[in-house]
Structure 1
Amino acid sequence: MPRDEPALRQPKLAGFNVDPAHSYTLSAPYYREPEVLARERDAIFFKSWIFIGHGEKVAHVGDYFTHSIFDQNILVIRAKDQRIRAFYNVCAHRAHELLQGEGNAKVITCPYHAWSYHADGSLRSARGSEKVAGFDKDEFCLKEVQIESFLGFLFVNLDPAAPPLAVQSGDLAKEVRGYVPDVEKLTFSRRLTFDLKANWKNVVDNYLECYHCPPAHPAFSDLIDIKKYRSITHGIYSSHIGPMTGGDNKAYKFDAARQDSSLHFSGWYLWPNITLNTFPGCPNLSVLQIIPTGPETCREYWDFYFSSQEPNDEERAAVEYVDRVLQPEDIGLVESVQRGLRSKGYHQGRYIVDAERSDISEHALHHFHSLVLNALGD
């Protein structure tokens, strides 16, 4: 009998259980194989709500920016009716890309043959088309992509049948506003960029448990009362909340006299590849986006939003802590794990999960893996 090559390339997943307390982890091939990433592209990133930036990037009529999801380039623009729209960034004539980067355009004009479009996607003009028999301008509108504003941030979904993010995400918006009441009033301030030699899921895995925090993050473990750190899973997101320990700590300085939710680290993982975070101190929210760039590489964008574009001393200290301490610690961890995932001595691990779902429990990691496997049909 001929060998079934595609089937042979499928990663083996023995021992995964819907109950995290009795389950083994994802097997190593899920973090290494090009075939897995190709399946994830189609089944996850082309069918989920993907973060693309803040709504303030298109604050005025004609403001636009472009964003790529793997090989799919998306154009986002605010039209005259004030509605923010998203389209595939491709001319309906001969497939030339329409716009690059960001800017303002009252009319979208293709640089190849000068076909032009209104910001609502309708074809405005096509040179010479008046001489073409039966040419129908309505046939050549830009193809629209679902877009949604959520907590002031913009998300797109390439699946036209996908339910709204506001529905899929349940109480996430309410939870975030509980810790950052004026989240929609925050503005972009800083971006940190990191290129990692690690599969994107490996990086998400690391975020989803604090089992590693005491041995690997001494300053964070001094900032937060780790024993009170709790993770709770819901639908397509999970929350990760820890109150601060007290005044002085090894991470960074901030006003510890407040008596409100600003004295917590509050984090939320949102499927498939972002986290929302607020650190102790002045009102803030940061978005960590984890973008696959290959089977064993990814890029992180960590965007910080504060009350003003220029951070104060307290906010600057928080950014520097993430940039100089927390991220180097985590990058070292996940890159070591990625090397280990290629070892002949490792195939699959076991989740540490206790009945109390305590600070060491890895049930949120199991929740994420369940979402991956469900999306892939595995």
Structure 2
Amino acid sequence: MQVPNNPFEPRHFEDVRKPLDQASTMPPWVYTSDKFFQREVDRIFMKVWNFMGHVDQVPNPGDYVALEFVGVPFIICRNDNGDLCAYANSCRHRGSKVAIGSGNVKEFMCPYHGWCYGLDGRLTATVDMDQTTGFYKQDYGLIPINIDTWGGFIFVNFDPDCESLADYLGDLPTNLASHKLTDMANVRTVEWELNHNWKLFVENAKESYHIAIVHRETINQVAPVKSADYSVSDAAGQYCTTFANHDGSMALLKDDLGFPPIETLKGRYRHGTYAPMIYPMTYLACTIDTAWFLQLFPIGPNKTKLVHGACFPRDRTVRPDFEELAANYYKRWDRTILEDIEAGDHQQVGIASPFARPGRFCFREPLVHQIDNWILNRVLD
């Protein structure tokens, strides 16, 4: 299906805008078009709060990690006071990156001409700049980027005029209060390469229609669709969510041993899994004994990096049997992620066909429809 000359005209999406039972799925080219992807970067990723990992990745003063997100290189670090900071990873002299990888430093030194920056972003030292008229170090610090945390998770926003993270999340922190996310440790992160568009992975994560087929031997054995329901819950913030009612932990394969339930859980959270998708693409799953996140780095219209993070209550991590039991969770996550990646990669190939056309939604895909319309609200003319 050919990309129209102006892919952002609302008329191309009239059928997507209809109620779920009447709506069509997105035009295939929204998953393959470079032009559509760049509009998502400009109108979404550069404007919203983007999930960037866990505070355990930079626990101490001087710790840093250099990241790149939709073409923007930046640094997350802890300053000398232990505060989290974020800066554009671009030297104020001629633009070189000043940090690579991760580690612990006293300062950042540009590898090109040796300009040095403190952990507070201030330019602290230069070489041979004394003959440059009107040059003052205080005017050339690293450019700061908005950063905030919730539940031990790090978010950044590239828009200097953005709303607060608290306003963006709305009632999500209240809904997950009994999980005590700030008391959890991020014990493992694993990276995966996806040969498909970021939206395909997000849509897949928030529909239960595929579980009986793609996850027939894994998730379907623990929380089958018809009994777990995967019902949509109310959300007063920039997220959508489901709750699956089931026995045991969603994070284990059937009959595998795990940790006891989180003692502070209240109400329905003691008997199932609450799984919000923070727009545009951060998936959290909070079940009775653990939580995990799926973090996406869109690279292009058909390429995405996925980071899976595993979180457990900190008191579980000091148990002598922690590694033995945690391996059961890792086994489940690694297996089901590969199942989802394979499904998404196949979908990308099929959707790129010149014969691909929009389809119709199943009643088990309400959040796919909701996510797609959230995106359209931001990218269309």
What's the TM-score bracket when you normalise by the shorter of the two chains?
A: 0.7 to 0.9
- Note closer, same or farther for the CA distance 1:203–1:346 as it changes in structure 2 (3 Å cut): same
**Any residues of structure 2 matched to 1:245-256 within 5 Å, and which?**
245=247, 251-254=254-257
Give distance in 1, aligned partners of 2:366 and 2:297.
23
Indicate the residue corresponding to 1:244 in structure 2: 246
Alignment of 1:224-243 (within 5 A): 224=223, 226=225, 227=227, 228-232=229-233, 234=235, 235-243=237-245
| Cα distance change, pair 241–340 in 1 and its aligned pair in 2 (3 A) | same
Supply the distance in 1 between the matched residues of 2:349 and 2:3 (Cα, whole angstroms).
Answer: 25
- What is the aligned-residue identity percentage? 25
Note if contact 2:212-2:224 (Cα within 8 Å) is conserved in structure 1. no
**Residues 229 and 130 (structure 1 numbering): CA distance in 2 closer, same or farther, change over 3 Å?**
same
Long gaps (5+) in structure 2: none
- Counterpart residue number, 1:314: 325
Residue 277 of structure 2 is matched in structure 1 by 269
CA contact (8 A) 2:240 2:276 kept: yes
| In structure 1, C-alpha distance between the alignment counterparts of 2:357 and 2:202, rounded to whole Å | 19
- Opposite residue 347 of structure 1, the aligned amino acid is R
C-alpha distance in 2, partners of 1:175/1:99?
37
For each residue in 1:34-61, what CA deviation from the matched residue of structure 2 results, as whole angstroms up to 9, or x when unmatched?
1111111221221121111211222222
Q: Does 1:352 align with 2:358?
A: no
1:374 match: 377
Return the letter of the residue paired with 2:371.
Answer: F
Deviations 1:101-138 (Å, cap 9, x if unpaired)? Answer: 11122222222222112222122122223333322223
Give per-residue Cα distances to partners, 1:150-187, cap 9 Å, x unaligned: 11111111111111121111111122233x22x11221
Alignment of 1:16-165 (within 5 A): 16-17=16-17, 19-165=19-165
Per the alignment, residue 353 of structure 2 pairs with: 343
Structure 1 pair 52/293, CA: closer, same or farther in 2 (3 Å)? same
1:42-100, Cα deviation, whole Å (9 max, x unpaired)? 21221121111211222222221111112211111212233211110111011111111
Shift of residue 222, structure 1, vs aligned partner: 2.4
Cα separation, 2, equivalents of 1:90 and 1:164: 25
User: Secondary structure of the equivalent of 1:287?
Assistant: strand
Structure 1 residues 369 and 87, CA, compared in 2 at 3 Å: closer, same or farther?
same
* Structure 1 residues 325-378: Cα deviation after superposition (integer angstroms, max 9, x where no partner): x1232223222222221234432122223xxxxxx2x21111111111112125
Return the alpha-carbon distance in structure 2 between the equivalents of residues 257 and 65 of structure 1.
33
Per-residue deviation at 1:314? 3.4
Residue 294 (str. 1) matches residue 300 (str. 2): yes
**Equivalent pairs, count:** 362
The code of the aligned residue for 1:232 comes to S
Instruction: Identify if the C-alpha distance between structure 1 residues 54 and 146 changes in structure 2 by more than 3 Å, giving closer, same or farther.
Output: same
Give the TM-score taking structure 2 as reference length. Answer: 0.87
Superposition deviation, residue 257 in structure 1: 7.9
Q: Which residue of 2 aligns with 1:357?
A: none
Map of 1:214 onto structure 2: 212
Identify the residue that residue 338 of structure 2 maps to in structure 1. Answer: 328
CA deviation profile, 1:247-288 (whole Å, cap 9, x unmatched): 9995352369859545422211111121011344x3x21111
Moved more, 42-51 or 340-349: 340-349
Tell me the CA shift for residue 231 of structure 1: 2.0
Q: Is there any run of 5+ residues in structure 1 with no aligned partner, and where?
A: 354-359
SS at match of 1:131: coil
Task: Report the alpha carbon displacement of residue 204 of structure 1 after superposing the two structures with TM.
Answer: 0.7
SS at match of 2:130: helix
In structure 1, C-alpha distance between the alignment counterparts of 2:298 and 2:305, rounded to whole Å: 6
Question: Do the aligned partners of residues 277 and 126 (structure 1) sit closer, same or farther apart at CA in structure 2, a change above 3 Å counting?
Answer: same
> Contact (CA 8 Å) 2:249, 2:287: kept in 1 or not?
no
Distance (whole Å) between structure 2 residues aligned to residue 44 and residue 89 of structure 1: 21
Structure 1's 134 and 275: CA in aligned 2 closer, same or farther, altered over 3 A?
Answer: same
Tell me, yes or no, if the aligned pair for 1:236 and 1:371 is still in contact at 8 Å: no
User: Structure 2: which amino acid aligns with 1:276?
Assistant: L
Amino acid across the alignment from 2:215: H
Deviations 1:185-221 (A, max 9, x none): 2212222322222111011111111022223322312
Letter in 2 for 1:313: E
Task: Give the distance between the partners of 1:70 and 1:23, measured in 2 at CA.
Answer: 30
Contact residue 225 and residue 242 of structure 1 kept, 8 A: no
The range that moved more, 29-38 or 192-201, is: 192-201
Q: Letter of the aligned partner of 2:185 in structure 1?
A: T
Matched letter for residue 129 of structure 1: M
Displacement of 1:246 in angstroms is 6.0
State the SS of the aligned residue for 1:298.
Answer: strand
Deviates more, 1:243-252 or 1:21-30: 243-252
Task: Indicate the SS of the match to 2:242.
Answer: strand
Q: In the aligned structure 2, how far is the partner of 1:185 from the partner of 1:109?
A: 35
Distance 2:163 2:344 in 1: 33
Report the Cα distance in structure 2 between the residues aligned to 1:62 and 1:339, rounded to whole angstroms: 44
CA RMSD after TM alignment: 2.6
